[in-house]
Amino acid sequence: PKVAIILGTRPEIIKCAPLIKACDRRGVDCLLIHTGQHYSEDLDQVFFDQLELPTPDYNLEVGSRSHGEQTGRMLEGIENLLEAHTPDIVLVQGDTNSVLAGALAGAKSNIDVGHVEAGLRSFDREMPEETNRVVTDHVSDYLFAPTEETKRYLERESVPGEIVVTGNTIVDSLYEYRDLAAEKSDVLNELNVAEDDFYLLTAHRAENVDTRDSFDRLLEGVSRFAAQTDREVVYPIHPRAQSRLDEFGLAVPEEIRTIEPLDFLDFLRLESAAALVFTDSGGVQEETCILGTPCVTLRYSTERPETAYVGANCLAGLDPDDIVEAGTMMLGKCADWDVPFGDGRAAERILDVLAVGAEPDAAEVPT
Ligand code: UD1
Ligand code: UDP
């Protein structure tokens, strides 16, 4: 069978990488479609280079637009490509507009759709990602749920597709790259920060950074905790957040050092070395849990509750006092939790379920 993999943003490139490589190992005919939702070098090309991924067969170059326009243009472009190439299965990963467009285009073309990272729910319909997750899950034929918890959500919604718990492909990626990051990345020296003596911050969610007051409170809470504990915060800033800072004329407190977005190895090195990570990212909640760094989530809900259940993550919201309290609780926490996202073989398992390609030699699969 021929597989089409659709991706468009930084986290999709990172989490689809194990699938693309597994297709390659199995000799599967794989059509790679990039929607162009992310296009800046440091959100896009840098990951293709570092993860040694093939250049996409097509890039729709849709770029930044309103939700409707962005999704609509993707839908049209993907539909044309699916019609021309007639794949047997369309794979999408995650919860972005690229995922929604890919899933809808596949479903409308009567091609089987596989949703990787299915079943996540924040139960907050204000988040654009929640709409994307729910719709994608309901039009998918295969639901690759990372955990038993996510499988239960899908069962409760009576989705029509087949649900399989596979683990999350982020574990596959981290197992492949974390040692390399420790070995190759010089980012601690470059930034002049010492292991366990700084905090890492990422914040880019629309509901946090698109309102001046929310963004201000988030920065206030994190900087206050940094000042109290006498540590610096490193913030590789997403372009969305940077453009909001510029638009609002918001000054970043002196405890927080903003830097350009990092490549994957440097970011993993910082995540592993930080004393604590503050984030509103989905992927970063998972990665800190896997890498053994305590995490404070700057949101009121999470679609990754497993990270909190095992004790790796604490939901703080945006109130500065709550952020300080959560930081105090999580700092120095012993990372003795179990990783709830699988064993690093999610991509192989997904291709097994789809019965595509020949199963590779165990020795060929990175662990
Ligand atoms: C998107 C996803 C979000 C995901 C994030 C990963 C949706 C609805 N949102 O959010 O779920 O967590 O990607 O990072 O799909 N920009 C650039 N260069 C780029 C891309 C974006 O400068 O390559 C700037 C533009 O100013 C743009 C803004 O970022 O307007 C937002 O980009 P967009 O793709 O709409 O959403 P993200 O915030 O990146
Ligand atoms: N990431 C990165 N460099 C950075 C920030 C994040 O490589 O400067 C990686 C991170 O390791 C994770 C992914 O980007 O795998 C998370 O992406 P993001 O936070 O943009 O999206 P989300 O996971 O919230 O959808």
- Can you give the pLDDT at residue 4? 98
Amino acid (one-letter) located at 342: G
State whether 97 and 134 are in the same domain: yes
Gap between the Cα atoms of 193 and 40, Å rounded: 27
Same-domain status, 154 and 10: yes
Please indicate, yes or no, whether residues 25 and 154 belong to a single structural domain of this protein. Answer: yes
Pairing of strands 232-236, 256-259: parallel
Inside any domain, residue 177: no
Residue 179 lies in a domain: no
- Phi, psi values for residue 145, rounded to 5°: -85, 135
Residue 238 is a catalytic residue: no
Res 357: pLDDT = 75
The residue type of 11 is: P
Residue 365 has pLDDT above 80, yes or no: no
pLDDT band at 364 (very low <50, low <70, confident <90, very high): confident
Indicate if 94 and 243 belong to the same structural domain.
Answer: no
* Pair (320, 347) in one structural domain: no
Quick: pLDDT tens for 170-185.
Answer: 999 999 999 999 999 9
Cα–Cα distance between 322 and 340 in angstroms, integer?
26
Determine, yes or no, domain membership for 335. no
Alpha-carbon torsion (37, 39, 40, 46), positive or negative:
positive
Are 162 and 192 contained in the same domain?
A: no
269 closest CA partner among 360, 357, 186: 186
Which atom from ligand 2 is nearest to the alpha carbon of 236?
Answer: 8
* Residue 4 Cβ contacting ligand 2 at under 6 Å: no
Q: If you take atom 13 of ligand 1, which residue's CA is the nearest one?
A: 9
> Is 344 within 8 Å of 171 (Cβ atoms)?
yes
CA–CA–CA angle 213, 100, 267 (5° rounding): 60
Per this entry, what is the length of the chain? 367
Where do runs of H (alpha helix) occur along the chain?
Answer: 10-25, 45-50, 67-85, 97-108, 128-139, 148-156, 169-184, 187-191, 206-209, 212-229, 239-248, 264-273, 282-291, 305-309, 320-330, 346-354
Looking at the fold, whether 83 and 121 belong to one and the same domain comes out as: yes
Residue 359 pLDDT greater than 80, yes or no: no
Tokens representing residue 176 in the block: 């492949």
**Residue 101 to residue 76: CA distance in whole angstroms:** 9
Q: Answer yes or no: are the C-beta atoms of 269 and 188 closer than 8 Å.
A: yes
Determine whether the shortest distance from the Cβ of 294 to ligand 2 is under 6 A: no
Query: What confidence tens digit (pLDDT) does each residue in 143-202 have?
Result: 999 999 999 999 999 999 999 999 999 999 999 999 999 999 999 999 999 999 999 999
Backbone angles phi, psi at 232, to 5 degrees: -90, 155
CB-based contact 34:74 (threshold 8 Å): no
CA of 160 from ligand 2 middle (Å) equals: 31
Is residue 336 in a domain? no
Burial 324-346 (b: 16+ CB within 10 A, else e): bbbbeebeebeeebebbbbebbb
CATH of the domain at 287: 3.40.50.2000
Based on the domain organization, do 158 and 10 belong to the same domain?
Answer: yes
Distance 238 CA to ligand 1 centre (A): 8
Average pLDDT for residues 84-108, to the nearest whole number?
A: 98
Does residue 181 sit within a domain? no
Which atom of ligand 2 is nearest the CA belonging to 263? 7
Ligand 1 within 6 A of CB of 15: no
Is 152 in contact with 163 (CB distance < 8 Å)?
no
> In the predicted model, what is the mean pLDDT of residues 20-42?
97
In this prediction, residue 42 carries a pLDDT of 98
Handedness of CA 310, 134, 344, 56 (dihedral sign): negative
- Reported confidence tier of residue 356, pLDDT bands at 50, 70, 90: confident
Complex ipTM above 0.85?
Answer: yes
65 and 124 within one domain: yes
Beta-bridged to residue 258, according to DSSP, are 235
User: Is 79 within a domain?
Assistant: yes
Angle between helices 282-291 and 10-25 (to 10 degrees): 60
Atom of ligand 1 nearest to the CA of 204: 38
332 phi/psi in degrees, rounded to 5 = 80, 5
Same domain (yes/no): 133, 252: no
**162: number of Cβ within 10 Å:** 13
Confidence grade of residue 75 (pLDDT, cut at 50, 70, 90): very high
Burial of 27 (0-12, 13-18, 19+ CB in 10 A): exposed
Mean pLDDT of 54-68: 98
Q: Are residues 146 and 14 in the same domain?
A: yes
What sign has the CA pseudo-torsion 208, 15, 65, 257? positive
d(CA 254, CA 322): 20
By residue range, what is the domain housing residue 133?
Answer: 2-168+342-364
Asked whether residue 180 is domain-assigned, the answer is no
Question: Do the beta carbons of residue 229 and residue 323 sit within 8 Å?
Answer: no
In a domain, 34, yes or no: yes
Pairing state between β 112-116 and 142-145? parallel
If one counts the domains in the chain, the total is: 2
| Mean of per-residue pLDDT scores for the chain | 97
- How far away, in angstroms, is 50 Cα from ligand 2 center? 14
Same domain, 37 and 90: yes
Question: Which of the listed residues 284, 304, 341 should we mutate to test ligand 2's pocket, taking the one with most ligand atoms within 8 A of CB?
Answer: 284
Write out the two tokens for 14. Answer: 């990172």
